[in-house]
A = this chain, B = another copy of it.
């Protein structure tokens, strides 16, 4: 409605010139500007109305004496970055008539995959170099936990007499057992620690860097009939040096841990074998008739903004890391790990896994890893149940028992808000 080009300007300037008097000019100007202001006000109202979706703000804010909940890896740490310039370029607009059809690409084996999302996934991997994409099928899931289940469904032999065993090295991600068993399927069942497994038929899940302890993992079982799923949710430069381009048969990623948009619920899988990809796609079709297009467009926008930030930096050779997500987040994570190690030293009753360093092929420097979770152990004999002990100190964590480990260790999220993290480290340092 508001004119945004020179034509309007020339017409008005001409008209005012003809009027020939200061008074009249000012009247005309006032009328013109008033009309313009009104039009702009209305346009602005429209945008405001369009933007006036009141989304939830996540967990409530914390104060000095709050219970600090670091049970989930809720990646709200990234919000500050997304309030900056890159975040502005990632604003998504969806008109009322868009994304109505079930179908995204009827010619793709994953018919509900938005082509724009696939493009941004491939662009980002090409930038970071953490995973091979040539010759891989890209699948989208409602978070990587849906893709994990899709992989179990695709890899389990459908006609076996007994469910196939699903295993992972201890400590394993606490959600693997319930994700495998909650529907009591005859196709697969959770069988615990991969190191304790004896047999040829299995599905081994390898989470690397490992949730909960940040270690770099490889498959421990080797058999011709065994299958692997590589959960690479944390294989991004802010958490660990990118030492090589991985090229496993099934690789799972998620927007949650890469950019921090957990609420969007979008994950993706890179899958080598066509038949496996087809079966995984079939799982999403049956489970949820595909994946939200709006969520995919959002994820595409966010991933695209990350890659754009790096490409723009390369093109302009401008300094500063404010537009570079991985650099920004790595610095932030490194600060937090320093603060945590200082707090652990101050307290004297805890220990953490040793720091690990490596050469990062993406940032071209040697860096330490900064895992998304701290795997905190208590050295004090009297403390038998560390989760309960910390809970009494108003710190909520997840017990080692849920990861196949013991009660004297807990998993703590390192990616929560600055406020929550600050209170947590202060509180931890004071525990003697």
Contact = CB atoms under 8 A, between A and B. Distances in A.
Interface of A: 2-6, 8-9, 12-13, 16-17, 20-22, 25-26, 29-30, 33-34, 37, 40-41, 43-44, 46-47, 49-51, 53-60, 72, 74-76, 78-79, 82-83, 86-106, 114-116, 142-143, 145-146, 149, 153, 178-179, 182-187, 256, 260-266, 283, 286-295, 297-298, 300-302, 305
Contacts of A88: 46, 95-96
Nearest to A163: B184
A50 B91 contact: yes
Contacts of A184: 185-187
Nearest to A85: B96
B100 A53 contact: no
B292 A295 contact: yes
17 contacts: A9-B33, A16-B26, A16-B29, A51-B93, A53-B93, A53-B297, A56-B103, A57-B101, A58-B100, A79-B100, A82-B96, A87-B95, A92-B94, A99-B261, A184-B187, A264-B293, A294-B294
A55 B114 contact: yes
Given A9-B33, A22-B20, A53-B94, A101 B290 contact: no
A184 B189 CA distance: 12
A155 to B, nearest CB: 14
Nearest to A298: B294
A13 B37 contact: no
A93 B185 contact: no
Contacts of A264: 99, 292-294
A98 B72 CA distance: 19
A101 B265 CA distance: 10
B305 A292 contact: no
B106 A60 contact: yes
A20 B26 CA distance: 10
B13 A263 contact: no
B101 A74 contact: yes
Contact of A92 (B50, B54, B74): B50
Q: For A98, A116, A153, A186, which residue has the most chain B Cβ atoms within 10 angstroms?
A: A98
A398 to B, nearest CB: 14
Contacts of A30: 9, 13
A142 to B, nearest CB: 4
Given A74-B102, A293-B55, A298-B94, A265 B286 contact: no
A205 to B, nearest CB: 16
A73 to B, nearest CB: 9
Contact of A266 (B98, B146, B292): B292
A215 to B, nearest CB: 24
Contact of A101 (B49, B76, B91, B143): B76
Nearest to A179: B286
A9 B37 contact: yes
B101 A263 contact: yes
A34 B58 contact: no
A179 B282 CA distance: 12
Most buried by B among A6, A25, A104, A301: A25
A98 to B, nearest CB: 5
Given A50-B92, A91-B95, A265-B290, 12 more contacts: A3-B40, A8-B37, A12-B29, A21-B22, A25-B26, A47-B47, A53-B116, A55-B94, A72-B102, A83-B96, A103-B263, A182-B283
